[in-house]
Amino acid sequence: MTTAHVRSTSGRLPTIGLLLALAAICWAVVVPRMGSNDSAMGDELGTLGFFIGTWTLMMAAMMFPSVWPTVIVFRRLQAARRRRGEDTASTGSALLVAGYLGAWAVAGLVGFAVVKGGRALEIDALSWDRGGPLLAGAVIVAAAAYQLTPLKNVCLRHCRGPFGFLLEHWRPGALGAVRMGVRHGLWCIGCCWALMAALFALGIMSIGWMAVITVFIAAEKLLPWRRTATALVTVALLVLGLAVAFAPERVPGLMHMDAGMPGSAPAEMAP
């Protein structure tokens, strides 16, 4: 093992450890907010403030375990620029992460508006006792189909290759770090929005399904076998979507789409 490799590893481990620790803290905060029982996306998402706060914590818990390559590359590039006197910001990585979470917070606002708008229509045919399982299953199958699109491939390539992304979009200073974080967050949203739609369909406040989607995201972004990981996630989504559509009672942890969020009526297991 070379000296350079030792230095590289020793500099990388604290960053990974910090992000994993922050993710663990977010999980510890999110779980009580969701309640002791798994709850599904229901008629009420709670207040906008409650939802966005919980959503942002969820994104930190789910994304921090797989965003560390970008943070590490950013820190190394910034250190190199600082040595040349080109960038003196000392809190750049924190601002990068803040911008990244900010992009996901905006995505949460969009999701909130879509769900609220859909619920306001009060289409009885889409209630869980009627067409709800088919709708939820269709959303998950659509997420599987998105896995195979060129857009998904491009977005995932940016997420897996942060060095090229940061070199191309580098902006100096604190504002530059935030802007790069937002831009990287947008690529990540492009990569993962369909998986998040599947999470909404399965139960946005379900701890179990949140953990499953987290594993899917980490596998696609971190495993060296990108195509294999994507294929496995695609197959898993396809099977899951069909199961939700045609045999929801056999899907563990699946909740009524009509069940409430914390503060609304108690959730019930899907029949």
pLDDT at 167: 87
pTM for this entry:
0.83
Dihedral angle, C-alpha 147, 129, 256, 229, nearest 10 °: -20
Q: Which carries the bigger pLDDT value, residue 258 or residue 230?
A: 230
Residue 1 has pLDDT above 60, yes or no: no
- Work out the mean pLDDT of the chain and round it to a whole number: 82
- Residues 189-211 have pLDDT tens digits of 999 999 999 998 888 778 889 99
Residue 246: exposed, middle, or buried by beta-carbon count in 10 A (0-12, 13-18, 19+)? exposed
Cα–Cα distance between 205 and 194 in angstroms, integer? 17
pLDDT at 6: 34
Range name among 17-31, 131-145, 186-200, 255-269 with the lowest pLDDT average: 255-269
Cα–Cα distance between 264 and 19 in angstroms, integer? 33
Residue 32 has pLDDT above 50, yes or no: yes
Q: Which carries the bigger pLDDT value, residue 164 or residue 122?
A: 164
Dihedral angle, C-alpha 25, 71, 209, 102, nearest 10 °: 80
CA distances 129 to 205, 226, 241, 258, 265, Å, are 20, 39, 17, 9, 17
